[in-house]
Amino acid sequence: MSILIKHGTIVTAVDEFVGDVLIEGEKITAVGANLEGKADKIIDASGKYILPGGIDQHVHYSFDFKGERVRGFETSNAAVAGGTTTVIEFVNQEQGKGIAETIANYDQKEVAPYAMADYSFHGVICDPRDEVFAEIPTLPEKGISTVKLFMAYKGLPFHSDDEAIFKALRASKEAGVTVMVHAENADVIDALQKDCLREGNTTPYYHAVSRPPLVEIEATERAINLAKMADAPIYIVHVTAKEVMETVRGAYSQGVPVYGETCTHYLVLDKEDLARPNFEGAKYVCSPALRTKQDQEALWEAVNKGWLNAVSSDHCGFNWQKQKHMGIDDFTNIPNGSPGVQDRLSVMWTYGVNQGKISKQRLVDLFATTPAKNNGLSEKGHIGVGYDADLVIFDPDHRAVISNEDSLHGVDYNTYEGMKMEGKVESVFLRGKLMVDRGNFIGEEGDGKFIHSKAYGLAYDAKEKRTSNV
Ligand code: URP
Ligand code: ZN
Ligand code: ZN
């Protein structure tokens, strides 16, 4: 099957031009102006943008918080409907099992039969035995090239201490595996949470009070120092605050291979959302906590200038009526995380591009191209010959308001409810298959496939080993 998309404005991380894209089978086989030749189907994209399908390198379809679990891959159509064609899922290692073994079981039972987006995995180290660190260098041959450790969440099974992080860094570096960390000081949070509860401060707003920026700054500095001691690169997930971003930028400018992302919600929401009445604030309980409008400005500048190299959703589909209400009398029991996989492109376009904070090229880079590189997905994230035909046709003129009624994520609220949405995902191709047609999802469960993540995704000191040519 061949498809020729004509007269669209093609946007890449470095370019923008009116042209055509030829898809043959699962691949892009030609890109250029006025492509001639036959195709089984011709689509006119005049007046529309053609963007690469997004890579969301930070999603949770299996996260469990105090016994409550998020919605799974049966809701991954939401990603595709929002222009994200590949998601990278954090899989918590099961106690007593290996990382690859845990992931293979999960993939077979809960991902492959349901996935509607392509997917890859980060292994979350939860059982830090020596055999587990010894397993790390073998992961890339199984298509897993990133591991993550949580410095936060004291007392929960996925919390890690510094010894585990240091050992993971040492084991990873020679194999080109990237260590990612959730950087917050778990002990201080625990003490501050106890203070809040003792004083009768139980509402969602105290989630932010008990997790001030300094707990993130301290842990980020510590993670960077651990990386320095291990002489290994490190990736800081979900950076939220100006000073945290400056810590990452400062270390990088001194030659430390430290990289970071932020997430959509930290760019447009702030801690006052946690104070919404009638327990609505619980919808915004995610960690690290939402910050201030000044932090939002600093984060926009950081993603514009490349000091943070990706914008992820940190999608976490907990239901408000039941699951978030676990914490009605005690904010520490509110499951952490908010949904957002469908809204990443809309929010970045409306509040980033259309408000002059980032260019369309920067959007493509943050949304697709660099997350693909970070994770060694060498055939994803770019519109070029030989790349997977993951494409979004985007109508910039559409105007709407974000509503949970239009969300496919399978939970009872939308984090961005009521915010304006400029532009619309009109069509989405996943490896050449039309998955979204005139705004309607038409794909099927099982359309998504596992994509091998190659080692040496991060460009630190191994450029010759880089897997992407962009
Ligand atoms: O609150 C969040 N971010 N929930 C998901 C787990 C994590 O910390 O990334
Ligand atoms: Zn986290
Ligand atoms: Zn997360």
The residue whose CA is least distant from atom 9 of ligand 1 is 314
Rounded CA gap, 275 and 376, in Å? 40
Is 464 a residue whose pLDDT tops 60? no
Dihedral of the alpha carbons of 280, 281, 285, 291, in degrees to the nearest 10: 150
The residue whose CA is least distant from atom 7 of ligand 1 is 287
pLDDT tens for 314-352 read 999 999 999 999 999 999 999 999 999 999 999 999 999
Ligand 3 geometric centre to CA of 233 (Å): 20
Concatenating the DSSP letter of every residue in 265-324 gives HHHH--GGGGG-TTTGGGGG--SSPP--HHHHHHHHHHHHHTSS-EEE--EE---TTTTG
Q: How far is CA 435 from CA 10, 51, 339, 343, in A?
A: 19, 15, 21, 17
User: Cis bond leading into 288, ω under 30°?
Assistant: yes
Q: How confident is the model at residue 468 (pLDDT cuts 50, 70, 90)?
A: very low
- Beta carbons within 10 angstroms of residue 37's beta carbon: 9
Give the ligand 1 atom nearest the CA of 285: 1
Rounded CA gap, 49 and 353, in Å? 13
Q: Is the CB of 287 under 6 A from ligand 1?
A: yes
Ligand 2 geometric centre to CA of 156 (Å): 13
Ligand nearest to the CA of 63: 1
Rounded CA gap, 295 and 274, in Å? 16
Give the ligand 1 atom nearest the CA of 153: 8
Q: Is the CB of 60 under 6 A from ligand 1?
A: yes
Residue 321 region by backbone torsions, left for phi larger than 0, else alpha for psi between -120 and 50, else beta: alpha
Nearest C-alpha neighbor of 41 from the set 79, 3, 8, 68 = 3
pLDDT tens for 206-231 read 999 999 999 999 999 999 999 999 99
Rounded CA gap, 455 and 141, in Å? 9
What is the rounded average pLDDT for all residues in the chain? 96
Cα dihedral sign, 15-21-24-30: negative
Residue-level pLDDT at 461: 47
Is 459 a residue whose pLDDT tops 80? no
Q: Is the CB of 266 under 6 A from ligand 1?
A: no
Mean pLDDT of 422-432: 98
Ligand 2 geometric centre to CA of 152 (Å): 8
Ligand nearest to the CA of 266: 1
Rounded CA gap, 56 and 58, in Å? 6
Is 140 a residue whose pLDDT tops 90? yes
Cα dihedral sign, 325-327-333-339: positive
Q: Output the pTM of the full model.
A: 0.97
Give the ligand 1 atom nearest the CA of 286: 1
Rounded CA gap, 235 and 388, in Å? 26
Q: How confident is the model at residue 466 (pLDDT cuts 50, 70, 90)?
A: very low
- Beta carbons within 10 angstroms of residue 247's beta carbon: 24
Mutate-to-test residue for ligand 1 from 211, 314, 334, highest number of ligand atoms within 8 A of CB: 314
Ligand 2 geometric centre to CA of 182 (Å): 5
The residue whose CA is least distant from atom 4 of ligand 1 is 337
Residue 126 · residue 92 · CB < 8 Å:
yes
pLDDT tens for 63-74 read 999 999 999 999
Q: Is the CB of 182 under 6 A from ligand 1?
A: yes
Q: Is the CB of 63 under 6 A from ligand 1?
A: yes
Ligand 1 geometric centre to CA of 341 (Å): 13
Ligand 2 geometric centre to CA of 337 (Å): 9
Mean pLDDT of 226-237: 97
The residue whose CA is least distant from atom 5 of ligand 1 is 337
Give the ligand 1 atom nearest the CA of 58: 9
pLDDT tens for 71-125 read 999 999 999 999 999 999 999 999 999 999 999 999 999 999 999 999 999 999 9
Q: Which two tokens stand for residue 328?
A: 């009605």
- Beta carbons within 10 angstroms of residue 95's beta carbon: 10
Can you name the CATH fold of 52-379+453-465?
A: TIM Barrel (3.20.20)
- Residue reference for tokens 């430390």: 256
Q: What are the residue ranges spanned by the domains of the chain?
A: 52-379+453-465
Q: What letter would DSSP give residue 357?
A: S
